Chain A
Amino acid sequence: MSQLAEHKRRRIDELTARTAEAGGVSLFRDAGRRLLRNPTAIVGATIILLFLIMAIFAPLVAPHDPVQRFPELTKDLTVDSIPGATAGHPLGSDPLGRDFASRMVYGARQTMFVGVLATMIGLLLGVLLGAIAGAVGGWVDVVIMRFTDVMLALPSLLLAITLVALARQSTQWTVILAVAIVNVPIFARLLRGSMLAQRESDHVLAARALGVKPRDIALRHMLPNSLTAVIVQATLTFAVAILDAAALSFLGLGDPDINRAEWGLMLGVDGVRYFEVRPELAYFPALAIILVALGFTLLGESMREALDPKNRR
Chain B
Amino acid sequence: MVRVVSRRLIQLVITLIALTTLVFFWLRSLPGGPVDALLGERATPQTRELLIKALGYDQPIWVQYGHFLKNVVTGNFGNSIRTGEPVMDVIGRSFPATFELALAAIIIAIGLGVPLGYLAARHRGRLLDNATIVITLIGISIPIFFLGYLLKDWLTQSLHLFPPSGRISTGTDNTDVTGFFVLDGLLTREFDASADALWHLVLPALTLATIPLAIIIRITRASVLDVLDADYIRTADAKGLRNPTIRKRHVLRNALLPVVTIIGLQTGALLAGAVLTEKVYNWGGLGTLITDSISGSRDYPVLQALILLAALVFVVVNLLVDLSYAIIDPRVRVR
Interface residues of A (CB under 8 A from B): 146-147, 149-150, 153-158, 161-162, 164-166, 168, 239, 243, 246-247, 250-253, 264, 267-268, 271-272, 275-276, 279, 282, 286, 289-291, 293-294, 297-298
Interchain CB contact under 8 A, B19 and A294: no
Question: A291 vs B145: C-alpha distance in the bound complex, in angstroms?
Answer: 16
Choose from A153, A250, A267, A289 the contact partner of B279 (Cβ within 8 Å): A250
Closest residue to A152 on the B side, CB-wise? B314
List, in ascending order, chain B residues with CB within 8 A of A154's CB.
19, 307, 310-311, 314
Do A155 and B314 form a contact, CB below 8 Å, given A161-B294, A276-B157?
Answer: yes
> What residues of B have a CB within 8 angstroms of the CB of A168 in the complex?
31
- Give the complex CA separation of A155 and B295 in angstroms: 20
- Which of B11, B138, B145, B303 makes the CB contact (< 8 A) with A250? B145
Q: Whole-angstrom distance between the alpha carbons of A162 and B11 in the complex? A: 23
**A interface secondary structure, majority:** helix
Binds A, one of B174-182, B190-198, B199-207, B265-273: B265-273
- CB pair A157–B275 under 8 Å, yes or no, is yes
A residues less than 8 Å from B279 (CB atoms): 250-251
How near does chain A come to B276, taking the closest CB pair, in angstroms? 6
15 pairs from A and B in contact (CB 8 Å cutoff):
A153-B16, A154-B310, A155-B271, A157-B275, A239-B140, A246-B145, A250-B276, A251-B275, A252-B294, A268-B143, A272-B280, A276-B157, A279-B153, A286-B143, A297-B141
Which residue of the partner chain, among A162, A246, A297, contacts B143 with CB atoms under 8 Å?
Answer: A246
List residues of B (115-146) whose CB comes within 8 Å of A's CBs.
Answer: 137-138, 140-146
A-B pairs under 8 A by CB, number = 116
Chain B residues within 8 Å of A267, by CB: 143, 146
Q: Which residue of B lies closest to A272 (CB)?
A: B149
Contacts of A161 in B (CB 8 A): 272, 275, 290, 294
Which of A147, A156, A168, A291 has the most CB atoms of chain B within a 10 A radius of its CB? A168
CA distance A279 to B269 in the complex (A): 29
B149 CB contacts on chain A under 8 angstroms? 272, 275, 282
The contact size tier of chain B is 35 or more
B interface, over-half SS: helix
> Which residues from A are CB-within-8-Å of B268?
155
Tell me, rounded to whole Å, the shortest Cβ–Cβ distance linking A156 to chain B.
7
- State A182–B282 Cα separation when bound (angstroms): 27
Instruction: Check A156/B141 contact, CB under 8 A, given A146-B15, A275-B149, A282-B146.
Output: no
In the complex, residue of chain A having the shortest beta-carbon distance to the beta carbon of B311: A153
Q: Are B311 and A156 in contact (CB under 8 A)?
A: no
Please give, as numbers and ranges, the residues of chain A lying within 8 Å of B112 by CB-CB distance.
none
Q: Bound complex: CA of A170 vs CA of B269, how far in Å?
A: 24
Report if A157-B143 is in contact (Cβ < 8 Å); known contacts: A162-B303, A290-B138.
no
Assess the B137–A297 pair: CB atoms within 8 A: yes
B18 at the interface (CB under 8 A from A): yes
- State the CA gap A162–B146 with chains docked (Å): 22
Quick check: B143 and A166 within 8 Å, CB to CB? no
Task: Report if A251-B307 is in contact (Cβ < 8 Å); known contacts: A289-B143, A297-B141.
Answer: no
Question: Whole-angstrom distance between the alpha carbons of A156 and B144 in the complex?
Answer: 15
Task: Decide: A150 and B275 in contact? CB cutoff 8 A.
Answer: no
Q: Which residue of A lies closest to B22 (CB)?
A: A150
Shortest distance between the CB of A267 and any CB in chain B (Å): 6
* Chain A hits for B30, CB < 8 A: 166
The answer for the CA separation of A272 and B280 in the assembled complex, in Å, is: 9
- The 8 Å CB contact of A155, one of B18, B269, B291, is B269
Interface string of B291-317 (1 = CB under 8 A from A): 100110010000100010011001100
